[in-house]
Amino acid sequence: MDRFNAMRIFTRIVELESFSKAADDLQIPAATATYTIKQLEARLGVRLLQRTTRHVSATLDGQAYYHRCVRILADVEETEAGFGTSGVAPRGKLRVDLQGTLAQHYVLPRLAEFFERYPDLELEIGMGDRLIDLVRDGIDCVLRVGELRDSSMVARRVATLQQVTCASAAYLDKYGTPATLDDLAGHRAVNFYSASSGKMFPFDFVVDGEERSITLPGIVTVSNAEAYVACCASHLGLVQLPRYHVTGLLESGAFREVLGAWRPKPMPVSVLYPHARQLSPRVRVFVDWITDAMSAAS
C-alpha cells in the first residue's frame, strides 16, 4: 500500500465526510477509496471511520490519526518543494475563494501575471461573501473583508480600504448635503444587509476618536455590492462603502462624498487559510502574490 496516498485519501474523506465526494475530489474511483481505507484500518488494527448510509465521521482514533496525517502530508509537500537548490516551481491545483468585487477590481485583472510567474499552478476560484468551511469544502485560502472572527484560521492582513459616505449628485441637489451628523435627520439610506446572517449594517462614523453608529430609514435594502451602488445611482439614498467601489463616480461628479470629516475606520482585508495549509508552497506563493496585488488598495 502507498502509505502517503492512503493518508491523502483518508484525510479527504474526513474533511468531506463522504467516500464518494472524496473520490470525486481526488479523481479516483469510489471503490479505490473504500478499498484503501479497509486496508489502512486492517494495517493499523483500529477503526478510523464511522459509516452510516448518510454520513461518515472519524472515530477518536481516526481524529488523532487525521491530525497526524495532515502534519505529515504538509511536511512532505514542503520538503519536496524546497529540497536542494533546484528551484522547482510549485505545481498542482489551488482552490481559493475571493470576495467578489475585490477580486474583479484587484485580482482578476492581474491573473495573467500570476500564471506567467507560476505556470505549473492551476487555480479554481470561487467568488462570494458566503460563510464556508475551508476544510470541508477543500478550500486552500480565502480573501475576506472586515474584522476576523474565526481564530481557528491563519490570517494575514493584506490591505485596508478607505470607506466613504456618499450619494448621487441628483439626490443631494434634491434633499440637501448634510454638513454634520445631526443633519442626517430627514435623509434616507440605501441599506445593506448580510445575506448569511440577515443583519442590517448601520452607518459608522468616527467622532473624536470614538465610533458612532447611526441607522437611517430607507425604502430599499440590498445584500449585493453592485445593487448597492446601482440603487445609489438611482438617487435612492446615501450609501457607505469602500471608496474603490465608487472612485470613478466620485471623480466624474455623479456621486459626491459627504461627512468626510467623520469617515468610518478603514476596513481590513485579509487572507485566511487553515493551519494545515500554512506549509504548502502553493498557498505561500499565492498569498505572497495576492498581498502584492492588493497593495494598491491601501
CATH of the domain at 191: 3.40.190.10
Do 247 and 114 belong together in one domain? no
Do 119 and 200 belong together in one domain? no
Report the alpha-carbon distance of residue 228 to residue 190 in Å, rounded. 7
State which residues form the domain around 281. Answer: 92-161+268-297
Do 167 and 253 belong together in one domain? yes
Do 156 and 288 belong together in one domain? yes
Do 172 and 257 belong together in one domain? yes
Helix, strand, or coil here: 156? strand
In what helix (H) or strand (E) does residue 95 lie, and over which residues does it extend?
A: strand 92-98
Report the alpha-carbon distance of residue 288 to residue 134 in Å, rounded. 19
How distant, in Å, are the alpha carbons of 37, 180, 181, 217, 292 from that of 258? 62, 9, 10, 17, 31
Segment 194-203 shows an average pLDDT of: 85
Which residues, listed in sequence order, are joined to residue 177 by a DSSP beta bridge? Answer: none
User: With 0-12 CB in 10 A as exposed, 13-18 as middle and 19+ as buried, what is 280?
Assistant: buried
In what helix (H) or strand (E) does residue 102 lie, and over which residues does it extend?
A: helix 100-102
Helix, strand, or coil here: 160? strand
- For the beta carbon of residue 253, count every other beta carbon within 10 angstroms: 8
Highest mean pLDDT out of 22-26, 171-175, 280-284 = 171-175
Total number of domains constituting the chain: 3
Instruction: Look at the chain and count its residues.
Output: 298
- Binned at pLDDT 50, 70 and 90, residue 277 comes out as low
Would you state the pLDDT for residue 152? 72
- Binned at pLDDT 50, 70 and 90, residue 79 comes out as low
Report the alpha-carbon distance of residue 236 to residue 220 in Å, rounded. 8
Segment 168-179 shows an average pLDDT of: 97
Do 156 and 285 belong together in one domain? yes
Do 153 and 179 belong together in one domain? no
Site of grid cell 469602500: 242
Whether 75 is covered by a domain: the verdict is yes
Do 156 and 275 belong together in one domain? yes
Of the ranges 168-172, 259-263, 273-277, which one carries the lowest mean pLDDT score? 273-277
- Binned at pLDDT 50, 70 and 90, residue 88 comes out as low
Do 101 and 138 belong together in one domain? yes
Would you state the pLDDT for residue 85? 44
Whether 87 is covered by a domain: the verdict is no
Do 54 and 192 belong together in one domain? no
Report the alpha-carbon distance of residue 147 to residue 38 in Å, rounded. 44
Report the alpha-carbon distance of residue 25 to residue 126 in Å, rounded. 16
Contact between residue 78 and residue 280 where contact means Cβ atoms under 8 Å apart: yes
Q: What angle do CA 166, 167, 172 make, to 5 degrees?
A: 120
Do 169 and 261 belong together in one domain? yes
Do 52 and 196 belong together in one domain? no
Residue percentage of the chain with pLDDT more than 90: 53
